[in-house]
Amino acid sequence: MVVSIAEGRFEDVPDFDYDPQYVDVGDLRMAYVETGGDGDDGEADETFLCLHGEPTWSFLYRKMMPVLAERGRVVVPDLIGCGRSDRYEDRDEYTVEMHYDALRTFVEELDLTNITLICQDWGGLLGLSLAANQPERFARLVPMNTGLPDGTQEMTETWHAFAEMVATAEDLDIGELVENGCYHDLSEEVVDAYRAPFPDERYMAAARTFPGLVPQSPDDPGVDLFTDARDRLAEWEKPAFVLFARNDPIMADNRDPLREFIPTASEQPDVWIDEAAHFLQEDAGEEIAAHIVDFVDRT
Q: What is the per-residue DSSP string for 13-38?
A: -TT-----EEEE-SSSEEEEEEESS-
* Residues 6 or more apart whose Cβ sits within 8 Å of residue 288: 64, 144, 243, 273, 276, 280, 281
Q: Which residues are catalytic?
A: 121, 248, 278
C-alpha to C-alpha distance for 25 and 4, rounded to whole angstroms: 14
**How many CB atoms are located within 10 Å of the residue 22 CB?**
16
User: Contact at 8 Å (CB) between 141 and 128?
Assistant: yes
**Nearest Cα to Cα of residue 75 among 29, 114, 126, 101:** 114
3-state secondary structure of 219: coil
Q: Quote the strand ranges of 29-111, DSSP E.
A: 29-35, 47-51, 73-77, 87-88
Q: Is the link from the previous residue into 55 a cis peptide, with omega within 30 of 0?
A: yes
| Torsion angle, alpha carbons of 219, 254, 116, 62, to 10 | 110
Distance from chain centroid for Cα 182: 15
